[in-house]
Amino acid sequence: MTLIDFLILGFVIGSNNLAVALSLGAMGQAARRFRVMLVFGVFEFLMPLLGIGLGAATARAIGLHTNVIGAVLLIALGLLAVIGGIRNRSQDEKLAKQVTQWRGLIFLALGLSMDNVVVGFSLGLGRAEPLAVATTIACFSVLFTWIGMRLGHESRRSWEQIAKIGAGMLLVGFGTANAMGWL
C-alpha cells in the first residue's frame, strides 16, 4: 500500500468515529473526550489486526479471487452504513448517553470497530502490513473522535446521519477502487 492508500483508508475508516463522536459531543459528553479517544483508539487498533489475521488465514486457505471477495465485503459494509445512516436510529442516541461509564464505552467501541474486522479481513486477503494499517486506522479514528466531539459540543446539532451516510459512501468507493485494482 502507498502513503495515499493509507491516508484514504484512515480517512474512510475514521469517518465512522466522526459520526458517533459528533453525537456524543452534541449530547454533552465532550468532557469525557479523552476517555472516549483512548477506548476508541485501542479498539480501532486491535480490530483491524484481528481482521487482517483472519483474512490472511482465509487467503492461504482459498487462494484465488481474494481481491474480489475483499472488494465485495467492503462494498457491502459501505452499503450497510448508508442504509443505517438513512434509518432513524433512536437507540444509538440512547446508547451514546450510557457512555458515562467505562463498560458502556467499551461496548460502544466494540460495536463501532466491528467494521474494522471486515476491512482488516479484506486487506488480509491481499498483502497488507498489519501494524501500519492498524496504526493508520487508530490515528485517524482518534483524530476524528476528537474533532467530532469538539464540533458536536460546539454545534449541539446532530450530524450523525450525514456522517454515517458519508462514511458508507466512502467505504463503497474504497471497495470499488480495491476491486478495480487501484489500491
Mean pLDDT per 10-residue segment, the chain (183 residues): 87 86 80 90 93 82 64 69 64 57 79 81 76 92 92 70 76 81 75
Instruction: Give SS3 for 158.
Output: coil
What number of residues does the chain have? Answer: 183
Vertex 18 angle, CA 12 and 21, to 5°? 155
57, amino acid identity: A
pLDDT at 67: 63
